[in-house]
Amino acid sequence: MLNCSGVELCRLQEVFISKQKTYDRIARLYDILDLPFERVRYLPVRRLLFAGLKGDLLDAGVGTGRNFPHYPKDAKVTGIDLSPAMLKRARWRKDKLGIAIDLKEMDVMAMTFAADSFDAIVSTFLFCVLDNEHQTPALIELRRVCRPGGTIHILEYEISKKPLHRFIMKLWAPWVRFAYGAEFDRNTEQYLAAAGLELVEKEFLYKDIIKLLTVRSSAG
């Protein structure tokens, strides 16, 4: 877990509460607001996200459980999220689909799992939500709980280089920031080295705006 001073710990707690309130507020409407994007963009992407993963799997930022139908059949999955309201929706979806998953309320920057707990980790748009100063602490925690040689898949947005798409994303950015506390341009790969991680592959799965980062420990 993170080794924080008193000031740092207070700051982390403030961020935790702020993000938690954001997602508790939007939880009831989350799936409705995301539905058009889920059908067109996210559903095909989720099918690719878990390819080749098996064993003990962590879904970091599980949200309302949209990933549930795509888990590998031979995986033992644990899902974490900081929002009780989002987890309530996830538990409803778990029961509806009959999915075997252990759901826990937890902050990705201060996980309570032992080191080397998981064979693979997936985060779906989680790092879009994390502020820039929290990218490295979260990545360090993912590295800590992932077993040596394990795979970490990070799915996130990137601002399009195409003028029209870029313009539209810039128009949407204030709403995304207000509703989700998220940004399109976190550029998480720039924080990997500081966290002891290396980028194995970067692949765009939807146009040039949704990318999959395949990451491993640099010591693995």
* Residue 1: predicted pLDDT: 44
Does pLDDT of 9 surpass 60? no
Band the pLDDT of 7: cuts 50, 70, 90. Answer: low
* Residue 30: predicted pLDDT: 77
* Residue 35: predicted pLDDT: 84
* Residue 191: predicted pLDDT: 98
In SS3 terms, the chain reads as CCCCCHHHHHHHHHHHHHHHHHHHHHHHHHHHHHHHHHHHHHHHHHHHHCCCCCEEEEEECCCCCCCHHHCCCCEEEEEEECCHHHHHHHHHHHHHHCCCEEEEECCHHHCCCCCCCEEEEEEECHHHHCCHHHHHHHHHHHHHHEEEEEEEEEEEECCCCCHHHHHHHHHHHHHHHHHHCCCCCCCHHHHCHHHCEEEEEEEEEECCCEEEEEEEECCC
Per residue in 88-127, pLDDT tens? 999 999 999 999 999 999 999 999 999 999 999 999 999 9
Band the pLDDT of 179: cuts 50, 70, 90. Answer: confident
The domain segmentation of the chain, as residue ranges, is 6-217
CATH (residue range 6-217): 3.40.50.150
Among 67-71, 135-139, 176-180, whose mean pLDDT is lowest?
176-180
